[in-house]
Amino acid sequence: MRRNSKFVVGAAVKCKSRAVVAGTNIENRSFGLTICAERVAMCAAVAGSEQDFVAIAVAADSDEPVVPSEACRQFLAEFNPDLIIVRATVRGQRKIENLSHLFADATRGILEHADLT
């Protein structure tokens, strides 16, 4: 796969079923179409019929543990606003946070009250 930025991020979501599903960022020449590793992992888990999620780990070859983008935080909050986020570097630096603390202003349940008929 061609990587435009050469910045590789990996993610793995831990499901309540104990399954662990991995993903990596998928870049596109049109940067807005790039998909973050967190969303790739979560989509792969959902495609595999997983519905309940406990934690997600995100790792990159960076000086500091990467922080999920606001889009990723919103996306993850739709599945579990209290998801445990493990952020790490390939050299072993690690931070563990709760998504609700990392993204306190998440818009929750947008579709909950929508009339989709």
Domain at 82, CATH number:
3.40.140.10
> Is 114 among the domain residues?
no
Mind listing the pLDDT tens digit for each residue in 69-84? 989 999 999 999 999 9
Please check whether residue 3 lies inside any domain of the structure. Answer: no
Res. 106 pLDDT band, cuts 50 70 90: low
Task: Tally the domains of the chain.
Answer: 1
Region 22-28 average pLDDT:
91
Q: Is residue 117 part of a domain?
A: no
**Catalytic pick among 27, 38, 50, 78:** 38
Are 32 and 8 spatial neighbours (Cβ–Cβ below 8 Å)? no
69 domain-assigned? yes
Whether 38 is catalytic is yes
In a domain, 4, yes or no: no
pLDDT at residue 108 greater than cutoff 60: no
Average pLDDT taken over every residue of the chain: 87
- Report the pLDDT averaged over residues 87-107: 85
Report how far residue 107's alpha carbon sits from residue 6's, in angstroms, rounded to the nearest whole number: 32
In this prediction, residue 45 carries a pLDDT of 98
The structure's pTM equals 0.83
76-94 mean pLDDT: 95
Range of the domain at 67: 9-106
